[in-house]
Amino acid sequence: MSSVKPQILIIEPFYGGSHKQLIDTLIDSLNLTDYELFSLPATKWHWRARTSALYFSQLIPPEHNYKVLFTSSVLSLAELIGVRPDLVTCRKIVYFHENQLVYPVREVKKRDCQYGLNEILSCFTADIVLFNSNFNRNSFLDNVQPFLNIQPDFKLKHIREKIEKKCEVLYFPIKFHAFPNKRRIVNVEVDVDVANLEQECLHLIWPHRWEHDKNPTLLVEVLLELNKRQVNFKVTICGEKFPKVPEAFEGIQEKLGAKLVNYGRLSREKYIETLLTGDIVISTADHEFYGVSMLEATYCGCYPIAPNKLVYPEIYPKVNLYNTPNSLIKMLYNWCRYPGPFRRNRDKFFQSFSFDQYSAKHLVPRYLDKMGT
């Protein structure tokens, strides 16, 4: 057995979804002897944020050779370093998939401010703070002072200035090379086949978490209105599903009937197969800091449609963004009526949209550079 001790300590308290996807992508480019990973399953998020620092402080070996500590903002880094001061000499990197200063809650009065405060303290403790988008970084920094002003009897000042110099944007690396590539211009010799393809009804895909911040209510409103107008379409509603189904989805299978071709979470293989049959991928999100599923679906050939807010203007052209529910309905209605012209328009989109800046091949070396490898 090798006596070489790993120099990279990776901690992920919420090892699932995009958090897991990031870690797995990074360690694919590391040797097994380079790193040690400590993680917890992606459940009970609030308790992970509260207690994971104490939990990991008991697991991480006291004798080590760690030079780098990489973790997500779910971990309270300040607490971990407080109880494990031997880790203070590591280059401490915190990655923000989202931020709690602006994360939507059902009732503002019930927001637990401790999570946001932990993130601010983690930024103070870290050497490098990485965000997955400019929107994430800016929304965090712009809300540091308003968030701290909630404190009733004294004011904390100049906190943003001390954090900002550590903050950088490093997009989430997506392994596009692992996907079949459906981005192509229709180019076949048999004209009748092209005509049949162009007239086939559009397949709409909504691949998001089934939670309130992804606004399933708006999705249902749009789909039922399209159905009411008697345009032809089919739809997939997939993404991460939880025991409590959104109230808006109740009865949706009966209301849409055969038009709802997939309903519920799909296996990874089936998910990719479905994306490859899609025409349009839709976001109705009230909050989105990056949108991995949108970019994955787009890479597989779906034309992206998203709100003209949040992270989306940073990634997609203006023509792909809608301002109101009515504009989304109008857009989809017109396209569903004329699938041929839509598909030709989609082909033009793929001629100009570049995925390179979001690809793992482009981004992983930059992550490794931050780690000093």
pLDDT in tens, 14-67: 999 899 999 999 999 999 999 999 999 999 999 999 999 999 999 999 999 999
**Residue 112, pLDDT score:** 75
Output the CA angle 142-147-151, nearest 5 degrees: 145
**Residue 189, pLDDT score:** 38
CATH 1.20.120.450 describes domain 8-174+360-371: no
Axis crossing angle, helix 339-352 with helix 191-199, rounded to the nearest 10: 100
Give pLDDT < 50 ranges for the chain: 1, 106, 108-109, 184-192
- The residues spanned by each domain of the chain are 8-174+360-371, 176-354
- Give which of 47, 48, 59, 43 is closest to 9, Cα–Cα: 59
**Residue 323, pLDDT score:** 98
Q: How does DSSP classify residue 339?
A: H
352 vs 66: CA distance, rounded Å: 44
Total-model pTM: 0.91
**Where does residue 302 rank: exposed (0-12), middle (13-18), buried (19+ CB within 10 A)?**
buried
In this chain, the answer to whether the domains covering 8-174+360-371 and 176-354 adopt an identical fold is: yes
Q: What are phi and psi of 252, to 5 degrees?
A: -65, -35
Q: Which CATH architecture has domain 176-354?
A: 3-Layer(aba) Sandwich (3.40)
Q: Is 180 helix (H, G, I), strand (E, B) or coil?
A: coil
**Residue 188, pLDDT score:** 37
139 contacts 102 by C-beta, under 8 angstroms: yes
DSSP 286-352: S--SS-HHHHHHHHTTPEEEEESSTTHHHHS-GGGEESSHHHHHHHHHHHHH-HHHHHHHHHHHHHH
**Residue 110, pLDDT score:** 57
234 vs 83: CA distance, rounded Å: 54
Q: How does DSSP classify residue 88?
A: T
Long-range own/partner contacts, residues 108-111 (CB < 8 A, 24 or more apart): none
Q: Would you state the structure tokens that stand for residue 239, as one six-digit string?
A: 């993404």
pLDDT in tens, 112-168: 789 999 999 999 999 999 999 999 999 999 999 999 988 888 888 999 999 999 999
